[in-house]
Amino acid sequence: MDVSVRVKEIPYSATRVLGPYAEKAKKDGKKIYHLNIGAPDTSVPEEFFKAIANIDSHVLPYAPSKGREDLRNEISNYYKEKNIDINPDEIVITNGASEALIFAFTTITDQGDNILTSNPFYSNYYTGFRQCAIGARAFDTFVDNGYRLPSYEKIVENIDDRTKAILLSNPSNPTGVVYTEEEVRLIAQIAIDYDLYIIADEVYREFAFDNHDFFSFGEIEEIQDRLILVDSISKRFGACGARIGSVSTKNKEVYKELVKLATSRLAVSTVDQIGAAALYRVNDKYFNDVKEQFQERRDTILKELAKIDGIKVYKPEGAFYVMPELPVDDAEEFAKWLLTDFSIDNETVMIAPGNGFYYNNEIGKKHARIAYVVNVDEIPKTINLLKVALEEYNKKN
Ligand X SMILES: Cc1ncc(COP(=O)(O)O)c(C=O)c1O
Among 93, 88, 11, residue whose Cα is nearest residue 265: 93
Nearer to ligand X, 218 or 245 (CB): 245
**Interaction of residue 127 with ligand X, rule CB under 6 A:** no
Please tell me the distance from the alpha carbon of residue 174 to that of residue 117, in angstroms, as a whole number: 13
**Interaction of residue 44 with ligand X, rule CB under 6 A:** no
CB of 58: closest distance to ligand X in angstroms? Answer: 29
CB of 163: closest distance to ligand X in angstroms? Answer: 20
Of 6-14, 80-88, 91-99, 145-153, the window that binds ligand X (rule: CB under 6 A) is 91-99
**Interaction of residue 75 with ligand X, rule CB under 6 A:** no
What does the radius of gyration of the chain's CA atoms come to, in whole angstroms? 21
Peptide bond into 45 cis (omega under 30): no
The single residue among 201, 206, 272, 325 that binds ligand X, judged by CB under 6 A, is 201
Return the residue nearest ligand X (CB atom): 96
**Interaction of residue 169 with ligand X, rule CB under 6 A:** yes
Nearer to ligand X, 97 or 165 (CB): 97
The single residue among 40, 96, 135, 364 that binds ligand X, judged by CB under 6 A, is 96
CB of 139: closest distance to ligand X in angstroms? Answer: 17
Q: Which residues from 255-294 bind ligand X, rule CB under 6 A?
A: none
Backbone angles phi, psi at 382, to 5 degrees: -65, -45
Among 117, 108, 111, residue whose Cα is nearest residue 130: 111
**Interaction of residue 238 with ligand X, rule CB under 6 A:** no
CB of 169: closest distance to ligand X in angstroms? Answer: 4
Q: Is 328 left (phi over 0), alpha (psi -120 to 50) or beta?
A: beta
**Interaction of residue 240 with ligand X, rule CB under 6 A:** yes
Among 335, 327, 330, 372, residue whose Cα is nearest residue 351: 335
**Interaction of residue 98 with ligand X, rule CB under 6 A:** yes
CB of 239: closest distance to ligand X in angstroms? Answer: 9
Compute the half-sphere exposure of residue 215: CA atoms within 13 Å on the CB side of its CA: 12
**Interaction of residue 176 with ligand X, rule CB under 6 A:** no
Whether residue 391 contacts residue 353, with contact meaning beta carbons closer than 8 Å, is answered with no
**Interaction of residue 173 with ligand X, rule CB under 6 A:** yes
The count of residues interacting with ligand X (CB under 6 A) is 13
Among 66, 94, 124, 128, residue whose Cα is nearest residue 245: 94
**Interaction of residue 38 with ligand X, rule CB under 6 A:** yes
Please tell me the distance from the alpha carbon of residue 48 to that of residue 271, in angstroms, as a whole number: 10
CB of 156: closest distance to ligand X in angstroms? Answer: 23
DSSP reduced 3-state for 275: helix
Of 74-82, 95-103, 275-283, 337-345, the window that binds ligand X (rule: CB under 6 A) is 95-103
Q: How many CB atoms lie within 10 A of CB 20?
A: 10
311: Cβ–Cβ under 8 A, 6 or more apart, which residues? 305, 324, 325, 326, 327, 390
Of 83-91, 94-102, 280-288, 325-333, the window that binds ligand X (rule: CB under 6 A) is 94-102
**Interaction of residue 122 with ligand X, rule CB under 6 A:** yes
Nearer to ligand X, 209 or 334 (CB): 209
Q: Over the range 96-110, which residues count as b (16 or more CB within 10 Å of their CB) and which as e?
A: bbbbbbbbbbbbbbe
CB of 245: closest distance to ligand X in angstroms? Answer: 4
Nearer to ligand X, 240 or 376 (CB): 240
Write the CA distances from 347 to 304, 342, 376, 380, 394, integer angstroms: 18, 8, 17, 14, 19
The single residue among 64, 135, 218, 245 that binds ligand X, judged by CB under 6 A, is 245
Interface contacts to ligand X, rule CB under 6 A: 38, 96-98, 122, 169, 173, 201, 203, 232, 234, 240, 245
